[in-house]
Amino acid sequence: MKVGIVGLPNVGKSTVFNALTGGHALSSNYPFCTIEPNVGIVEVPDKRLEDLATFVKAKDKKYVTVEFVDIAGLIKGASQGEGLGNKFLSHIRNVDIILQVVRCFEDTQVSHSFTEIDPVRDVDVINMELLISDMEILNNAIAKAKKANTKDKEVLERIGEKLNQGKLIRNIPLTAEEKDILKGFQFLTLKPSVYLANIKEEDEKSKAFAKQLEAKAEQDGCVSICLPAKLNEEVAHLSDGEKEEYRKEFNIEDGLKKLINLCYNSFGFITFYTIANDKAAAWAIIKGSTAVQAAGKIHSDMEKGFIKTEVIPFSELTGFTANEEAKSKGKMRIEGRDYIVNDGEVLYFKFH
């Protein structure tokens, strides 16, 4: 899972990055202090994986990871090259989920692109730049489809009409075939998005701005989350014991866990497990993925040479005293390439 952190300059993107990763990205009060993206990779806590590793006596564990990419601030006109322009857009094109940080606090000490705080306006500025960028790509694609006289032309033209009306692609009803046609273009407004309200803790005006953003997210087909980024950044650099104590004392939610859970629940991620070479591993896939697609998540060779998979739910596996006992009791079943993987299943892939 690769999450791109975007937003206008000075809304707290690098602070959010530090809060989520425990990193030390430069966070300063001037535009474009982030030029090249900061990247942080975080392991997703997983009690099932820890129990599984203990059960099979695995010497090593591999957690699902989330890669956070802190991308430079976007300004109006970026799609025409203003600010860092196309450089920004190329970075965001390579992520799976867009985390749009929106300033929902007032602070005279921190400059802002506009004189007043308005989360809805800020989101519209970002989305318009993404939409204009998508229009450019779409127009080129339509021209090529016309020249080649392919059936994609009609689908692309319909999408173009909706973009011209200001609609984001993720809000346009699409068939499975149409989604397949659009997959290769990396359209920015098709990507799943989270609006993150960067708030001041215990500030009622800040919370009111966050409510506006929540309503805007629903309207735009997104999900929203609140995070007092500065406070979470301070907590992120404490030891594990101190973090727990601090959060309990001040009733602060773990920002990383909150975001991970939101992404899993909202965008349909599930986790499956494998055991091989003394390693227990967790893997994230989209709900509805087949066994052969799950194999490809581990390695392309496994997908190409897929023969079958042996499947057992995590809950049933750990109900026995040993892995072999579960097999002998017939709890492990054999499934083919089109089997739909369920959350929490342990898979043993056979391939050539």
Instruction: Give residue-wise pLDDT tens across range 265-277.
Output: 888 899 999 998 8
- 295 and 261, same domain (yes or no): no
Which of 230, 265, 300 corresponds to the end of one domain?
A: 265
Residue 261 lies in a domain: yes
Query: Does any domain span residue 278?
Result: no
Distance CA 132, CA 312 (A): 47
Q: What is the CATH number of the domain that holds 316?
A: 3.10.20.30
pLDDT reported for residue 215: 96
* Claim to verify: residue 33 and residue 128 sit in the same structural domain: yes
Q: What is the mean pLDDT of residues 295-307?
A: 93
**Res. 87 pLDDT band, cuts 50 70 90:** low
Whether the predicted pLDDT of 212 surpasses 90 = yes
What's this model's pTM, rounded to 2 decimal places? 0.80
Regarding whether 292 and 261 lie in a shared domain, the answer is no
- Torsional sign, CA 247, 252, 258, 259: negative
Q: Are residues 292 and 255 in the same domain?
A: no
* pLDDT of res. 322: 59
- Establish if 276 belongs to a structural domain: no
| Segment among 8-12, 69-73, 124-128, 211-215 with least mean pLDDT | 69-73
Percentage of the chain modeled with pLDDT above 70:
87
Q: What's the domain range around 324?
A: 288-351
Same domain, 159 and 24: yes
Query: How many distinct structural domains can be found in the chain?
Result: 2
Q: Is residue 111 part of a domain?
A: yes
Same domain, 191 and 233: yes
In a domain, 275, yes or no: no
Looking at 64-78, 148-162, 274-288, which range is the least confident one?
Answer: 64-78
Q: Which of 126, 138, 128 is nearest to 182 (CA)?
A: 138
**Confidence band, pLDDT 50/70/90 cuts, at residue 24:** very low
pLDDT tens-digit profile of 330-339? 678 899 999 9
Residue 215 and residue 317 share a domain = no
280 versus 256: the higher-pLDDT residue is 280
Q: Which CATH number do you get for residue 38? A: 3.40.50.300
Are 261 and 335 in a shared domain? Answer: no
The answer to whether residues 295 and 220 belong to one domain is no
309-328 per-position pLDDT tens digit: 999 988 887 666 556 666 66
Residues 6+ positions from 259 with CB-CB distance below 8 Å: 20, 99, 194, 196, 225, 227
Backbone φ/ψ region at 224: left (φ over 0), alpha (ψ -120 to 50), beta: beta
The partner residues of 311 in beta bridges, in order of sequence, read 333, 347
Distance CA 161, CA 185 (A): 17
Residue 151 Cα to chain centre, angstroms: 32
Token couple for 136: 């450019």
Residue type, 103: R
Q: By C-alpha distance, which of 335, 107, 112 is closest to 230? A: 107
Domain assignment present for residue 117? The answer is yes
User: Is residue 277 in a domain?
Assistant: no
Q: Give the model's confidence band at 20: pLDDT under 50 very low, under 70 low, under 90 confident, else very high.
A: confident
How sure is the predictor about 161, in pLDDT bands with cuts at 50, 70 and 90? very high
Q: Which of 265, 298, 315 is the last residue of a domain?
A: 265
Kindly compute the dihedral angle of the four CA atoms of residues 307, 313, 314, 318, in this order, to the nearest 10 degrees.
-110
Looking at the fold, whether 206 and 334 belong to one and the same domain comes out as no
125 assigned to some structural domain: yes
| 143 and 256 belong to one structural domain | yes
Are residues 213 and 107 both part of a single domain?
yes
